[in-house]
Structure 1
Amino acid sequence: MARSSSGFVAGLTAAAVVAVGFLAYQASATAPADLSAKAKAPAASPSVPAPGGPRQPGRSALALPESSGKGVRVVYALSERRVWLVGAKDKVTRTFAVMPSTVNPPPGTYAVTSRSSTVAGSDGVQIEHVVRFANVGGVTIGFSAAVNGTLPTPDPARKTGGIRMKRADGDAMWLFATVNSKVVVVP
């Protein structure tokens, strides 16, 4: 009996160590690299963009907006509801449509402040590959993908900051946009 209960206790201890290690990893993944760092963002009121907003004449809907800056960056076009991952030499490595949140960041340049592998979204949906980069009126703004793969239109009565994308696009964003990566938001 002593032998089997000692094996049982050893198993419980190992399980507890694994659980604590997992929780410690989750906590470290959600904390910003520098707790005093804040995203550089101009003050503005939140708004929901109109779908398929204005484009530059003669420009394809998939073309990178000209006013999106230079260098390695994530570009988010509010009116087009589209993201571009831009690598070295201003080469677009991926572009995809997104579902905007009800609270949007004003146009400007930001930096990724924190990331989480999986959490519950502000709308209660389980999300993954969360890449946060702004805060508007107390609402944290970031890119994410719903674990269940859905892209529902957000409830306009709720203030949410999750810019949702398909899971494959979320995987690409997660690999591309690490803490301190540049995010450029254009109208």
Structure 2
Amino acid sequence: MRILALPFLLFAAGLSASAQTAPEVVKVEAILPDPQGDEMEPAPALELIEDHSVVLLDLTMSVEAYPSFENADGTYSTLDGDCEFGPMEGVRMMSVPTGSNHLLLNIRPGDPSQFAANSVSCDYMPSLQIGENIGQVVKVRGCYLANYHSIPTAAMYVLNPLPASACGLTQ
């Protein structure tokens, strides 16, 4: 009886392993605040994020939507005025203003040596010039795993770093 059960168990395990597929990658590309949207609603692309979804993120934030940062040394900061153009180093986590009090978004870019596809940078986008702002924006890109946390009257997603291969960015 044991001899017959072993091949059946191996066959069932093989079927189970082949039935598991990689999760679909959700591409989330947005500008905050949403230029065409209601100022109290998040950008529609952010509503694609679900619990345990793999997210390929390309997020641009203009002056009104600058995030707050938890730095690598444990301190907290915001961007007051101009930032230096290029990659921003030492970002442990950032809280992104989504435009809604009912959708909160925290992003952890991860260690650049392990998660090279993930970046936070200060860039130039002349189409978003507002007042005296010269068109500077904060961009967040990369591959992340979304984790949902329910809090009263709101949904919070924490995007944790994934290797580039999880989003199909490398082979």
Same fold? TM cut 0.5: no
**TM score, norm. by length of structure 1:** 0.27
